Structure 1
Amino acid sequence: MRELESRIWWHLYPLGAAGAPPRREVQGDVPWEGHRLRRLEPWLDYAADLGFTGVLLGPIFESTSHGYDTLDHFRIDPRLGDQDDWEAFVDHAHGRGLAIMLDGVFNHLGAEHPLAQDPAWPGLQRTEDGHPVAWEGHGGLAELDHSRPEVHDLVRDVMLHWLERGADGWRLDVAYAVPGRFWAQVLPAVRQQHPGAMFLGEVIHGDYAAIAREGTLDTITQYELWKAVWSSLKDRNLWELQHALGRHVEFSQAAPMQTFVGNHDVPRIASTVGDAGAALAAVMLLTLPGIPSVYYGDEQAFRGEKAEGFAADDPLRPPLPAGPEELAPNGWWLHDLYRELIALRRRCSWITRAVVEAEHTENELLRYAVTAEHDRLEAEVALSPQPRAVVTLNGETVLEWAG
């Protein structure tokens, strides 16, 4: 098993968490540039104290607005700081035992990127009149042409640049929109120099197993399981989750899936299913096979739902206070449950590649077993007469929770 597979990741969206202005047109006296990456250092301590062993970062490279419209892959976004701030962040994270995964936007460039502004650069998809193709109709995003060697060279060089400067792996944004053969051609050269690096493909829909195999990706975002967790809790229909667990087993034969109950693109789990549902989702997340990540604030029952228009995702990406001591008191109960679950998961790293089987299912009760060669974890999740969860490990009860 690749070492990074056994990590438990805390997912941060740095531009939001550090309080950076979301767009260049922001009015008022908030400066665009600032050494805001340093504001996140106390939160690395918080993550490590919770038991996390990796931090999955949203975009940190210079961009026009939300980070996914890159202007320069080789420069830290000036809203977050500079190279010195990055080096300090790396030292602090690695000093606390946290690996770092960066978010690589390699499907498209920001429309204002110098390469996108250069009509002679051959690395873009172009319309008949020579204009860059806007990815999925987003005028601020110029779609790359992944058949071009110039794009291969760019992605390889960016990956190597930051792996040599402290990163440990890459999340590949909208990997489902990039031909699998592109990753299969680019990644060997990167792995040759950094054999321990891990590559996570963001795949919302499609054949997860086939995409992992074709692209030689180490793990895939398990959106089907995410959907089944919140939907089965909200609709009080755990049969939906039982079905998804069978699919999860199939996908996991190709690669361990990257599991989550929240991220920077979806409504907060506590907003969707309430406090008790968020607790049960945490139990599922940390007892099911895969590589789990927790979106910052979900362990404190943060609320947030998508809004409308260009700023629709802003409520999902809030600033953190100066330090954990300034968090509201009403989320610490869930923090403590996460701490207990993470400690259990760290004891049982074998869960990552284990096999799950639903043993008993009712509308409002699900019992499943997670097994490896010499170990067996059983979890029972019930929605009535009160929300509760019981977890046993090799016959011994190791966690009980009731809402």
Structure 2
Amino acid sequence: MKEKIFIYQVLPRLFGNEKSLNKENGSLEENGVGKFSAFDNKALKEIKKMGYTHIWYTGILEHASKTDYSDFGILKDHPDVIKGNAGSPYAIRDYYDVTPDLADSVGDRMSEFEALVERTHKNGMKVIMDFVPNHVARQYRSDAKPEDVKDFGADDDTSSAFSPDNNFYYIPGQKLELQFPVQQGEGAYDEYPAKATGNDCFSNKPSVSDWYETVKLNYGVDYNNGRRNHFALIPDTWSKMKDILLYWTAKGVDGFRCDMAEMVPVEFWNWVIPKVKAKNKSLLFIAEVYNPEQYNNYVHWGLFDYLYDKVDLYDTLRDVICGHKPTSEITFCWQRIDGLQQKMLNFLENHDEQRIASDFFAGDPFKAIPGMIVTATMNTNPVMIYFGQELGERGMDKEGFSGCDGRTTIFDYWSVDSVSKWRNGGSFGNSELNDSQIKLRKFYTQLLQIAGTDESINSGKFYDLMYANYENPLFDSTKQYTFLRSSKKEFVLVIANFDEVDKEVVVDIPEDAFDFMDIIPYKIKVAKELFANKDFKLPANWYQSLKVSVNAHSGKIIRFSMS
């Protein structure tokens, strides 16, 4: 039976933070910070128990921060080019090091990370970490690189706006002029010549809405002259990035979530992924790609294992959950990427998106239950859940740089209330959770375990029933979504009800569905509701139309089998 991948995305900086002061714009000393050690065997067993196969530890690479670690040989960053006090995990300061915030002993931070990888493996899960290939912190410098490695930009010709041998892009003869209030005089940040900013801003005057804390890396693409590629000789940035990936692979990392992968030429991925997988063929490469027109390119030529399914399934489900689109739109999601469904990573939350329970999304985590059922069971592909999602974390704190935006901050030192209560000082359990949190967490645990162990879901065929029920007066194709998943001798019927009221629906199942699944319906003897863990009575002629009661904002998964 194929393993279905379930990824638990978590920011260690926030996960293990035991302080609850949560002062707006607070420092590390005031607000505290989580550590690698918070993921002890007890914590990892609790995560594994839910059904996760992988943990994406977000924010591991050393990134720019306002916390001073100069006593440990780490040069201070200028505050004008840092977002928040903790800094963005995507403004990398040293690709060969881990962030010192996460270590109990700063001098032993790498060995502490290596121990975390080992603990995660011993508890039956694999480790995913960020690979941030498109940009670095404005003051990138590596104090942990191997002796034979040169820093990015060390040999650049800074008089050239573009050179295939440069690691950065420059605006020759002009200094960086940040377009917002900054320090002046002796304390001013000085960058001359200015470098291009990470979001393809080829100006010396990035605004506050640009990724002003980052510098764009040069992969041999001349953006100012028709985006011409210079790949005849392998660009220096390619080789440097290959060595970085191999460095972390050697430390036991099992996969890389590649930040803004589509901003890096697909030719690089085609070149580098086979070289890294030669060291570990089971490595996962997950691409953050938002342009559906590039999906085939980054899968078939770029050789990624999985891509974010953000602009299709996530965006559609969000609109359905919020009542802006009918459920029939979900069908168009898989049709638009037909043939690539198994290559998509499904989710309803991550660090970039607003929390389901926030005022900016659904305002109630239970409204997303039908969407989460679809997300987890629609195909064999991986599913990701963001820490706190299973507890209904609202993300409505005003932490500092991020403000009150419905997201959990990635820029500030903070403690996540719902997660802290579940952690309960490291003892875990439900004693500090309210009834709603306990109920929601039970649902997520059940869902992951059902989707992870049911053969029809984790490795079977998919058959959309919406077309067969479009004109069915006893099925609302604007509020319900239904489909089949099948294995060799059994199948499951999934019904998701996005309506605000309980519904008794009748689902028509065409003969074509059984032909497609290669199942003879009269041989089916029993059926079982998997969430309720109880038998489902099969009436006569059930295989033509089936009556099912489904609660508001809920769903049912019914397994049909021969015995």
Which TM-score applies when normalising by structure 1? 0.87
Quick one: which of 196, 200, 210 aligns to 1:133? 196
1:106 maps to: 133
**In structure 2, distance between residues paired with 1:187 and 1:367:** 37
**In structure 1, distance between residues paired with 2:504 and 2:349:** 20
SS in structure 2 at match of 1:43: helix
Asked if residue 328 in structure 1 is aligned to residue 433 in structure 2, the reply is yes
Which of 1 and 2 has greater Rg?
A: 2
SS in structure 1 at match of 2:97: strand
**In structure 2, distance between residues paired with 1:300 and 1:258:** 21
Amino acid at match of 1:233: I
Deviations 1:48-88 (A, max 9, x none): 11121111121201111121000111111000110122122
**In structure 1, distance between residues paired with 2:488 and 2:270:** 32
Asked if residue 246 in structure 1 is aligned to residue 332 in structure 2, the reply is no
Alpha-carbon distance, 1:179 to partner: 1.0
Quick one: which of 313, 316, 321 aligns to 2:408? 316
Quick one: which of 138, 154, 167 aligns to 1:123? 167
Amino acid at match of 1:50: M
1:75 maps to: 97
Shift in alpha-carbon separation, 1:15–1:380, aligned structure 2, 3 A = same
Asked if residue 337 in structure 1 is aligned to residue 443 in structure 2, the reply is yes
SS in structure 1 at match of 2:129: strand
**In structure 1, distance between residues paired with 2:28 and 2:346:** 40
Asked if residue 402 in structure 1 is aligned to residue 551 in structure 2, the reply is yes
**In structure 2, distance between residues paired with 1:250 and 1:56:** 26
Asked if residue 15 in structure 1 is aligned to residue 130 in structure 2, the reply is no
Shift in alpha-carbon separation, 1:205–1:304, aligned structure 2, 3 A = farther
Shift in alpha-carbon separation, 1:327–1:104, aligned structure 2, 3 A = farther
Asked if residue 226 in structure 1 is aligned to residue 314 in structure 2, the reply is yes
Alpha-carbon distance, 1:199 to partner: 0.4
Alpha-carbon distance, 1:194 to partner: 0.9
Amino acid at match of 1:53: T
Alpha-carbon distance, 1:31 to partner: 8.8
Quick one: which of 208, 212, 222 aligns to 2:299? 212
Shift in alpha-carbon separation, 1:349–1:110, aligned structure 2, 3 A = farther
SS in structure 2 at match of 1:153: helix
Quick one: which of 285, 301, 304 aligns to 2:395? 304
**In structure 2, distance between residues paired with 1:350 and 1:366:** 18
Asked if residue 191 in structure 1 is aligned to residue 191 in structure 2, the reply is no
Query: Which one is further off, 301-310 or 222-231?
Result: 301-310
Amino acid at match of 2:327: L
Matches within 5 A, 1:164-183: 164-183=250-269
Shift in alpha-carbon separation, 1:374–1:389, aligned structure 2, 3 A = farther
SS in structure 2 at match of 1:238: coil
**In structure 2, distance between residues paired with 1:334 and 1:35:** 25
For the aligned residues, what is the CA RMSD?
A: 3.2
Q: Which runs of 5+ in 2 are unaligned?
A: 65-86, 104-108, 142-150, 158-165, 174-192, 200-209, 221-233, 410-414, 471-476, 508-516, 518-523, 533-549, 553-563
Query: Which one is further off, 221-230 or 238-247?
Result: 238-247
**In structure 2, distance between residues paired with 1:20 and 1:202:** 31
SS in structure 1 at match of 2:100: coil
Alpha-carbon distance, 1:240 to partner: 2.2
Shift in alpha-carbon separation, 1:86–1:248, aligned structure 2, 3 A = same
Q: Is the 8 A contact 2:456 2:485 kept in 1?
A: no
Q: Is the 8 A contact 1:246 1:357 kept in 2?
A: no
**In structure 2, distance between residues paired with 1:351 and 1:178:** 34
Amino acid at match of 2:314: W
**In structure 2, distance between residues paired with 1:151 and 1:352:** 39
Deviations 1:334-392 (A, max 9, x none): 1111111111112135635655343135111111123456553321112336257999x
Deviations 1:245-297 (A, max 9, x none): 32353432xx5211111100101123322233222222122211121111111
Quick one: which of 243, 265, 276 aligns to 2:366? 276
Q: Is the 8 A contact 1:110 1:116 kept in 2?
A: no
1:88 maps to: 115
Q: Is the 8 A contact 1:6 1:349 kept in 2?
A: no
Count of aligned positions: 395
Larger helix percent: 1
1:258 maps to: 345
SS in structure 2 at match of 1:10: strand
**In structure 1, distance between residues paired with 2:401 and 2:34:** 26
Quick one: which of 501, 510, 515 aligns to 1:386? 501
Q: Is the 8 A contact 2:316 2:329 kept in 1?
A: yes
2:375 maps to: 285
Shift in alpha-carbon separation, 1:306–1:152, aligned structure 2, 3 A = farther
Shift in alpha-carbon separation, 1:378–1:28, aligned structure 2, 3 A = closer
Which TM-score applies when normalising by structure 2? 0.64
**In structure 2, distance between residues paired with 1:153 and 1:19:** 37
Amino acid at match of 2:56: L
**In structure 2, distance between residues paired with 1:351 and 1:125:** 47
Amino acid at match of 2:167: G
Query: Which one is further off, 381-390 or 295-304?
Result: 381-390
2:29 maps to: 29
SS in structure 2 at match of 1:302: coil
SS in structure 2 at match of 1:193: coil
Alpha-carbon distance, 1:119 to partner: 6.9
Shift in alpha-carbon separation, 1:31–1:228, aligned structure 2, 3 A = closer
**In structure 2, distance between residues paired with 1:184 and 1:389:** 50
Deviations 1:90-131 (A, max 9, x none): 122111101111111111111110246747372112234453
